[in-house]
Amino acid sequence: MRHVIGFFLALAVAAGVFFGAGWGVWRFQAMQAGNGLSPSDWANTHNLLPLAALLGTGLVIGILFAVRAVSALAVGLPGLALIGWSALVLLRGHQGLTYIPMSSSHYAAGFTVMLSSGVLLLLGAAMIIPLFMPSRWRGREAEVEAFDEEFSTASSLVP
Protein backbone atom coordinates (compact mmCIF):
# COMPACT_ATOMS: atom_id res chain seq x y z
CA MET A 1 0.00 0.00 0.00
CA ARG A 2 2.85 2.41 0.75
CA HIS A 3 4.20 1.98 -2.79
CA VAL A 4 0.81 2.98 -4.21
CA ILE A 5 0.87 6.07 -1.99
CA GLY A 6 4.47 6.61 -3.13
CA PHE A 7 3.30 6.58 -6.75
CA PHE A 8 0.76 9.32 -6.06
CA LEU A 9 3.36 11.28 -4.10
CA ALA A 10 5.62 10.96 -7.16
CA LEU A 11 2.94 12.62 -9.26
CA ALA A 12 2.68 15.41 -6.69
CA VAL A 13 6.47 15.89 -6.65
CA ALA A 14 6.56 16.06 -10.45
CA ALA A 15 3.80 18.67 -10.41
CA GLY A 16 5.64 20.59 -7.69
CA VAL A 17 8.84 20.66 -9.71
CA PHE A 18 7.00 21.80 -12.83
CA PHE A 19 4.70 24.39 -11.26
CA GLY A 20 6.57 25.52 -8.14
CA ALA A 21 10.16 25.48 -9.31
CA GLY A 22 9.23 26.43 -12.87
CA TRP A 23 7.34 29.51 -11.75
CA GLY A 24 10.06 30.48 -9.26
CA VAL A 25 12.82 30.28 -11.85
CA TRP A 26 10.75 32.17 -14.41
CA ARG A 27 10.02 34.92 -11.90
CA PHE A 28 13.69 35.26 -10.92
CA GLN A 29 14.63 35.39 -14.58
CA ALA A 30 12.03 38.12 -15.20
CA MET A 31 13.27 40.14 -12.21
CA GLN A 32 16.86 39.80 -13.38
CA ALA A 33 15.99 40.88 -16.93
CA GLY A 34 13.92 43.85 -15.73
CA ASN A 35 16.30 45.86 -13.58
CA GLY A 36 18.55 43.33 -11.93
CA LEU A 37 18.38 42.14 -8.36
CA SER A 38 19.52 44.68 -5.82
CA PRO A 39 19.46 44.27 -2.03
CA SER A 40 16.54 46.69 -1.80
CA ASP A 41 14.45 44.39 -4.00
CA TRP A 42 14.41 41.78 -1.23
CA ALA A 43 12.57 44.18 1.08
CA ASN A 44 9.46 43.77 -1.06
CA THR A 45 7.42 40.73 -0.01
CA HIS A 46 6.23 40.21 -3.58
CA ASN A 47 9.80 39.49 -4.65
CA LEU A 48 10.16 36.83 -1.96
CA LEU A 49 7.40 34.64 -3.41
CA PRO A 50 9.64 32.99 -6.05
CA LEU A 51 12.17 32.20 -3.36
CA ALA A 52 9.39 30.70 -1.23
CA ALA A 53 8.23 28.59 -4.19
CA LEU A 54 11.73 27.22 -4.78
CA LEU A 55 12.37 26.60 -1.08
CA GLY A 56 8.97 24.93 -0.66
CA THR A 57 9.59 22.60 -3.58
CA GLY A 58 13.02 21.73 -2.24
CA LEU A 59 11.64 21.19 1.26
CA VAL A 60 8.97 18.75 0.06
CA ILE A 61 11.53 16.82 -1.99
CA GLY A 62 13.94 16.79 0.95
CA ILE A 63 11.33 15.50 3.38
CA LEU A 64 10.26 12.73 1.01
CA PHE A 65 13.92 11.95 0.40
CA ALA A 66 14.79 11.65 4.10
CA VAL A 67 11.77 9.91 5.64
CA ARG A 68 12.28 6.15 5.47
CA ALA A 69 8.59 5.37 5.91
CA VAL A 70 7.87 6.90 2.49
CA SER A 71 8.31 4.62 -0.49
CA ALA A 72 11.37 5.14 -2.68
CA LEU A 73 9.00 5.66 -5.61
CA ALA A 74 7.94 9.08 -4.27
CA VAL A 75 11.18 10.75 -5.33
CA GLY A 76 12.67 8.04 -7.52
CA LEU A 77 10.09 8.10 -10.31
CA PRO A 78 10.24 11.87 -10.88
CA GLY A 79 14.02 11.63 -10.68
CA LEU A 80 14.10 9.01 -13.42
CA ALA A 81 11.76 11.13 -15.53
CA LEU A 82 13.99 14.19 -15.09
CA ILE A 83 17.10 12.22 -16.04
CA GLY A 84 15.36 10.76 -19.09
CA TRP A 85 14.05 14.13 -20.21
CA SER A 86 17.47 15.73 -19.75
CA ALA A 87 19.05 12.94 -21.79
CA LEU A 88 16.51 13.53 -24.54
CA VAL A 89 17.38 17.23 -24.57
CA LEU A 90 21.09 16.39 -24.71
CA LEU A 91 20.65 13.92 -27.56
CA ARG A 92 17.89 15.56 -29.61
CA GLY A 93 18.07 19.19 -28.52
CA HIS A 94 15.00 21.14 -29.56
CA GLN A 95 12.87 17.99 -29.98
CA GLY A 96 13.12 17.29 -26.24
CA LEU A 97 11.93 20.81 -25.43
CA THR A 98 8.79 20.41 -27.57
CA TYR A 99 7.38 17.86 -25.09
CA ILE A 100 7.12 20.40 -22.27
CA PRO A 101 3.42 20.79 -21.42
CA MET A 102 1.69 24.18 -21.36
CA SER A 103 4.49 25.59 -23.53
CA SER A 104 3.18 29.17 -23.53
CA SER A 105 2.91 29.44 -19.73
CA HIS A 106 5.30 30.94 -17.19
CA TYR A 107 5.72 27.53 -15.58
CA ALA A 108 6.98 26.01 -18.81
CA ALA A 109 9.37 28.91 -19.39
CA GLY A 110 11.06 28.34 -16.04
CA PHE A 111 11.04 24.57 -16.53
CA THR A 112 12.70 25.06 -19.93
CA VAL A 113 15.44 27.15 -18.33
CA MET A 114 16.08 24.48 -15.71
CA LEU A 115 15.99 21.70 -18.30
CA SER A 116 18.31 23.35 -20.80
CA SER A 117 20.79 24.45 -18.11
CA GLY A 118 21.19 20.95 -16.65
CA VAL A 119 19.72 21.74 -13.24
CA LEU A 120 17.03 19.10 -13.66
CA LEU A 121 19.63 16.48 -14.58
CA LEU A 122 21.46 17.10 -11.30
CA LEU A 123 18.19 17.15 -9.36
CA GLY A 124 17.12 13.88 -10.98
CA ALA A 125 20.47 12.26 -10.18
CA ALA A 126 20.04 13.18 -6.52
CA MET A 127 16.41 12.04 -6.47
CA ILE A 128 17.15 8.46 -7.60
CA ILE A 129 19.46 7.70 -4.66
CA PRO A 130 16.65 6.20 -2.50
CA LEU A 131 15.93 3.68 -5.26
CA PHE A 132 19.25 1.99 -4.49
CA MET A 133 18.69 1.69 -0.72
CA PRO A 134 17.17 -1.68 0.20
CA SER A 135 15.76 -0.34 3.46
CA ARG A 136 13.46 2.00 1.51
CA TRP A 137 11.76 -0.96 -0.20
CA ARG A 138 10.95 -2.87 2.99
CA GLY A 139 8.14 -1.81 5.23
CA ARG A 140 8.48 -1.18 8.94
CA GLU A 141 6.71 -4.47 9.73
CA ALA A 142 9.36 -6.51 7.89
CA GLU A 143 12.13 -4.91 9.95
CA VAL A 144 10.29 -5.61 13.23
CA GLU A 145 9.68 -9.27 12.28
CA ALA A 146 13.36 -9.78 11.42
CA PHE A 147 14.35 -8.20 14.72
CA ASP A 148 11.96 -10.44 16.72
CA GLU A 149 13.29 -13.64 15.12
CA GLU A 150 16.90 -12.77 15.91
CA PHE A 151 16.36 -11.97 19.59
CA SER A 152 13.68 -14.35 20.75
CA THR A 153 13.99 -14.77 24.54
CA ALA A 154 10.80 -16.72 25.21
CA SER A 155 12.48 -20.17 25.05
CA SER A 156 15.38 -19.20 27.34
CA LEU A 157 13.12 -18.06 30.18
CA VAL A 158 11.24 -21.35 30.58
CA PRO A 159 13.17 -23.94 32.72
First to last CA, the chain: 43
Tell me if 42 is assigned to some domain.
yes
Q: What is the pLDDT of residues 71-89, one digit of tens each?
A: 888 889 999 999 998 898 8
Query: Where in the sequence is the domain holding 96, given as residue range(s)?
Result: 2-141
Tell me if 146 is assigned to some domain.
no
User: What is residue 146's predicted lDDT score, i.e. its pLDDT?
Assistant: 56
Does the pTM surpass 0.85? The reply is no
Q: How confident is the model at residue 109 (pLDDT cuts 50, 70, 90)?
A: confident
Tell me if 156 is assigned to some domain.
no
Q: What is the pLDDT of residues 112-159, one digit of tens each?
A: 888 888 898 999 999 898 888 877 777 666 555 555 555 555 555 555
Tell me if 151 is assigned to some domain.
no
Tell me if 69 is assigned to some domain.
yes
Tell me if 153 is assigned to some domain.
no
User: What is residue 12's predicted lDDT score, i.e. its pLDDT?
Assistant: 92
Mean pLDDT taken over the chain: 81
Nearest to 79 by CA among 140, 14, 20: 14
State the DSSP code for 158: -
Mean pLDDT of 45-60: 87
Tell me if 105 is assigned to some domain.
yes
Tell me if 157 is assigned to some domain.
no
User: What is residue 140's predicted lDDT score, i.e. its pLDDT?
Assistant: 62
State the DSSP code for 84: H
pLDDT at 31 over 70: yes
**8 A C-beta contact, residue 130 and residue 136:** yes
SS3 142: helix
User: What is residue 147's predicted lDDT score, i.e. its pLDDT?
Assistant: 54
Counting the structural domains of the chain, the total is: 1
